[in-house]
């Protein structure tokens, strides 16, 4: 079974499509922008991880060599966190140069201080049990360290500080054998999580390009949106034209059907119902009268000596009489009354009245016709038969009884009303 959708309001249909298209483009833009921001976050995370990997590589290098010695300078004083009891913490070369021992922690501290001077990506080591006050964790560090001790291998989060966005990423710093030189008194054992390395990555380093990328995305989507709307408008114009043509064709078809219906149900001469339509309505009204138990009466009437009018004055005059009677009778009926030309000079009226009221209506019509000034200049009268529907009746019995009453009126002298029950 084929389904065809009939569009009656192309403007509304096109508006809904335009809203739908706008929503699709907006969602696409939103998804793309979110995807780009996720990509930026992924890049920042990878950079932070690379920094920590680099730090761990430096620490491993230092550890592999058992620490290194560098000259003592104002910028590189001896490591005060190492007890003086540590063998060969400070040594003097044969030439008199004083060297101090740099362990992994001291080396990374100096690297981090250099990085902070650049004021870009910064790193620091922190611990829940720091030796140095400078390594005391802040609120975020504390939460991250607790998460690491709970088994997490990495903790990261976007935070806002002083109106700027930063990615903070921390990885655990496990206690190695070389660490116990300073940290054994804190109760650490080799393999424990002694703290964490935190990288603070300014998101503005990458986000400066977001606006340019967002402008490109918005421009591209705006172009797609306008292109889609242009297509929808062109479709709307075509659809509107087809709808106008279809509506016009339907209106013409409806008019043609109405005209055909009128021809099929209306008497062409008088403009009232013809016999075919009357018999169709008669069945409906009889059934309704039975259902509602209300009186229904039938009036048959015939033009007296109509053949004489046609023979002496001509058929055009006869047609004029028929038209004038149709008009005179119609003026005296209610909207619910059914009036039809039954054939030739015979007319019929179906009215929701009892027989007594129907006879009064027939008398009113008879008198009006008798006193009407016809265009032919002759007096015209009619004979009437009236009957009321009785529930045992068939439709044929109902019609025949009114017809017989009319012929009885003709036999009794014409211009009379005969009532039969």
> Which residues are known catalytic residues?
345
* Euclidean distance between CA atoms 408 and 413, whole angstroms: 9
* Euclidean distance between CA atoms 378 and 382, whole angstroms: 13
Query: Would the CA dihedral through 105, 110, 114, 119 be positive or negative?
Result: positive
Is the separation of the CB atoms in 374 and 380 below 8 Å? yes
In 3-state terms, what secondary structure has residue 419?
strand
Q: Phi-psi region for residue 388, left (φ > 0), alpha (ψ -120 to 50) or beta?
A: beta
User: Which helix (H) or strand (E) segment is 384 a member of?
Assistant: strand 382-388
* Euclidean distance between CA atoms 173 and 241, whole angstroms: 75
Residue with tokens 């038969």: 385
Going by C-alpha positions, the residue among 417, 420, 376 that lies closest to residue 397 is 420
* Euclidean distance between CA atoms 31 and 40, whole angstroms: 14
Residue with tokens 């990288």: 199
* Euclidean distance between CA atoms 199 and 121, whole angstroms: 7
Going by C-alpha positions, the residue among 132, 119, 159 that lies closest to residue 143 is 159
Going by C-alpha positions, the residue among 352, 344, 384, 214 that lies closest to residue 284 is 352
Query: Would the CA dihedral through 117, 122, 125, 131 be positive or negative?
Result: positive
Token pair for residue 142?
């504390």
Token pair for residue 380?
């015209």
* Euclidean distance between CA atoms 110 and 108, whole angstroms: 5
* Euclidean distance between CA atoms 46 and 49, whole angstroms: 5
């Amino acid at each position: 079974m084929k389904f065809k959708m009939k569009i009656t309001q192309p403007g509304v249909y096109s508006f809904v499509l335009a809203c739908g298209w706008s929503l699709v483009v907006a969602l696409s833009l939103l998804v793309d922008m979110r995807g780009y921001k996720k990509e930026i976050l992924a890049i920042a995370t990878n950079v932070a991880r690379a920094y920590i990997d680099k730090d761990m590589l430096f620490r491993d290098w230092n550890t592999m060599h058992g620490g290194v010695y560098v000259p003592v300078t104002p910028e590189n004083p001896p490591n005060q966190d190492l007890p003086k009891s540590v063998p060969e913490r400070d040594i003097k070369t044969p030439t008199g140069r004083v060297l101090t021992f740099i362990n992994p922690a001291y080396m990374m501290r100096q690297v981090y201080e250099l990085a902070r001077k650049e004021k870009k990506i910064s790193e620091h080591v922190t611990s829940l049990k720091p030796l140095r006050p400078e390594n005391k964790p802040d609120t975020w560090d504390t939460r991250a360290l607790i998460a690491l001790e709970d088994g997490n291998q990495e903790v990261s989060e976007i935070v806002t500080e002083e109106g700027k966005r930063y990615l903070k990423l921390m990885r655990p710093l496990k206690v190695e054998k070389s660490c116990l030189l300073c940290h054994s008194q804190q109760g650490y054992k080799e393999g424990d999580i002694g703290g964490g390395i935190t990288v603070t990555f300014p998101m503005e380093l990458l986000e400066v390009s977001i606006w340019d990328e967002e402008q490109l995305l918005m421009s591209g989507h705006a172009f797609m949106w306008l292109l889609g709307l242009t297509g929808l408008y062109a479709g709307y114009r075509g659809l509107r034209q087809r709808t106008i043509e279809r509506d016009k064709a339907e209106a013409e078809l409806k008019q043609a059907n109405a005209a055909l219906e009128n021809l099929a149900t209306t008497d062409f001469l008088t403009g009232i119902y013809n016999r075919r339509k009357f018999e169709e309505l008669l069945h409906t009204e009889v059934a309704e009268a039975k259902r509602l138990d209300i009186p229904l009466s039938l009036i048959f009437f015939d033009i007296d000596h109509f053949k004489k009018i046609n023979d002496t004055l001509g058929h055009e005059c006869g047609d004029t009489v028929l038209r004038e009677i149709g008009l005179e009778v119609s003026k005296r009926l209610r909207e619910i009354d059914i009036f039809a030309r039954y054939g030739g000079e015979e007319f019929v009226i179906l009215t929701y009245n009892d027989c007594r009221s129907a006879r009064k209506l027939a008398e009113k019509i008879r008198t009006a016709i008798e006193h009407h000034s016809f265009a032919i200049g002759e007096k015209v009268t009619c004979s009437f038969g009236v009957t009321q529907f009785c529930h045992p009746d068939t439709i044929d019995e109902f019609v025949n009884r009114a017809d017989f009453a009319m012929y009885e009126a003709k036999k009794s002298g014409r211009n009379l009303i005969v009532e039969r029950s």
